[in-house]
Amino acid sequence: MIDDRLYIDPELVQFYDLENEGGGDVDFIMGFVGDAKSVLDLGCGTGALTAMLADGRAVTGADPAPAMLDVARKRCGGDRVEWVEGDARSLRLGKSFDLVILTGHAFQVFLTADDQRAVLDTIAAHLASDGRFIFDSRNPLAREWQEWGPDDSRRTVAHPTFGAVEAWNDAVQDAVTGIVTYDTFYRVPAGGRQFHAQSRIAFPAQQALAEMIAAAGLVVDRWLGSWQGAPYAPDTGEIIPIGRKA
């Protein structure tokens, strides 16, 4: 993920917030945080949710991409957050949190089972004894990447400098590994300038996640299938475990 231009190139990061303004995950987390006094946001990106959580709480946002953190530090409320440049596979802050979150499908940028286990170990290492964790991963059974072709994904993004920017994706799944490679394109009408990044994400199955979570010393209390609170089922779009230390 740290080599993914979509997150590390400032020219592409400028489009991130334009395409990721709030959503069901933000609404759910803001209600879920409850009376947690401390929060660790792993893979915090440009920090929109992180800054929102920092009202009256001790919040740390960690991300491996300096370009994303540059945006995070400058946003409204960013001065209330401790921003850390760090990889979720190896981060060790030496303190625990009431809540550890990893949203925006950031878990899927970790492509191997070893990397995924390392992230879960990081979550466990930072959870208070009575703390909770929550993260999301797209359900591979829903095969969402099939809707990421140029025709289905073509859209217009309103950019404050460039105006109406044409955007689209393309995607292909590796049948052996299950990893999906997808391309993101932005084309500026004036002058025809085009930005492009290629990304790779994994789609671990719910059973595989359950086994890795247990191996990390964590327990899942609820499996959700959507950020609207529906329980996980094979036909739901999301896999969202909510849990604690074993």
Q: Within this chain, do residues 213 and 101 fall inside the same structural domain, yes or no? A: yes
Closest CA to 203 of 126, 146, 130: 146
pLDDT for 189 equals: 87
Query: Among 165, 186, 201, which residue terminates a domain?
Result: 201
pLDDT at 18: 86
At residue 166, the pLDDT reads 95
Digit-coded pLDDT (tens) for 147-195: 999 999 999 999 988 999 999 999 999 999 999 999 999 999 888 889 9
Q: Do 188 and 105 belong to one domain?
A: no
Residue 218: what pLDDT? 98
CA atoms within 13 A on the CB side of 178: 17
Q: Which residues, including other chains, have CB under 8 Å from residue 144's CB and lie 6 or more apart?
A: 138, 237
Mean pLDDT of the chain: 94
pLDDT of residue 19: 86
The reply to whether 166 and 225 lie within a common domain is no
Domain count, the chain: 2
Mean pLDDT, residues 132-147 taken together: 97
For 154, the 3-state DSSP assignment is: coil
Please indicate whether residue 15 or residue 200 has the higher confidence score (pLDDT). 200
72 & 108 share domain: yes
How far is residue 183's CA from residue 80's CA, in Å, rounded to a whole number? 35
The domain in which residue 170 lies consists of 141-201
Same domain, 95 and 211: yes
pLDDT at 12: 82
- pLDDT grade for 2, boundaries at 50, 70 and 90: low
Share above pLDDT 90 across residues of the chain, in percent, rounded to a whole number? 87
Cα separation, 42 vs 32, whole angstroms: 16
52 and 174 in one domain? no
Residues 191 and 217 in one domain: no
State yes or no: pLDDT of 124 exceeds 80.
yes
CATH label of the domain that carries residue 27: 3.40.50.150
Average pLDDT of span 63-87: 95
Confidence of residue 137 (pLDDT cuts 50, 70, 90): very high
Q: Are residues 28 and 109 in the same domain?
A: yes
My answer on whether 85 and 36 are in the same domain is yes
Looking at the fold, whether 79 and 107 belong to one and the same domain comes out as yes
- The tens digit of pLDDT for each residue in 9-44 reads 888 888 888 888 778 899 999 999 999 999 999 999
Structure tokens at 47: 């920090």
On whether the CB atoms of residues 9 and 68 are closer than 8 A, the answer is no
Residues 64 and 79 placed together within one structural domain of the fold = yes
Q: Is 156 helix (H, G, I), strand (E, B) or coil?
A: strand
Same domain, 209 and 197: no
